[in-house]
Amino acid sequence: MNDHEKSYDKPSPKVNALIIIDVQEKIIRAIFNKDSITKNIKKLIDAYQILEENIFISEQNPFKLGTTIPELLPKTGFKKIEKMEFSLANIQEFLKEIKNKKITNLIVCGIETHICIQQTVLDCLQKGFEVILVSDAMSSRNRVDHEIALQRMTQSGAILTTTESIIFELCKTANRKEFKEIRNIIMS
């Protein structure tokens, strides 16, 4: 076989999922910078529903902590997972679903950065996923907990970004027919 006959394997396409962790009524009340975080999660959801598929929402002990705040529920096409574990990566239903959809990249937002987000992210990194942290769409009750958790997760291999940056990255080009709608979401 000569060089011209070799077939080169193309890498399989990356499949994204938006993971929204525990944006619940009773947890969000005490969150640092909650209005800005809520606004950015809403932008992410609105843009993601136009550009991509695969949205997962987790709820930590919803019977005690309430359900996801209504404004942060996608309109359609999402999977909700109730949990008692802090790490979503320990939930078999979640692991099965992302395996079946061949998801490779997890775009993560929500609360609290230093508890459920951090434990989920560290476990998902160990399982071989690429994890993207939307730093301005996540928070904790205390700013220092949020900042230290971001450092720990990035030192472990997670990628740090912002809401606007990841939306434009998913959009890829201003030539898309959806671009005007995306720009309106960003500017809102």
Predicted local distance difference test score (pLDDT) of residue 1: 44
Q: Where are the beta strands (DSSP E) in 84-157?
A: 105-111, 130-139
CATH code, residues 13-187:
3.40.50.850
d(CA 111, CA 29): 11
Axis crossing angle, helix 179-187 with helix 34-51, rounded to the nearest 10:
180
pLDDT (tens place) for every residue of the chain, 188 residues total: 444 444 455 566 789 999 999 999 999 999 999 999 999 999 999 999 999 999 999 999 999 999 999 999 998 889 999 999 999 999 999 999 999 999 999 999 999 999 999 999 999 999 999 999 999 999 999 999 999 999 999 999 999 999 999 999 999 988 988 898 999 999 88
Task: Provide the pLDDT for residue 9.
Answer: 58
Would you call 178 helix, strand, or coil by DSSP? coil
CB hemisphere CA count around 20 (13 angstroms):
27
* Single-letter residue type at 187: M
Q: How many residues does the chain have?
A: 188
Q: What is the pLDDT of residue 14?
A: 85
Helix and strand numbers, DSSP H then E, in the chain? 8, 6
pTM over cut 0.85: yes
Please give the Cα distance from 46 to 155 (Å, whole number).
30
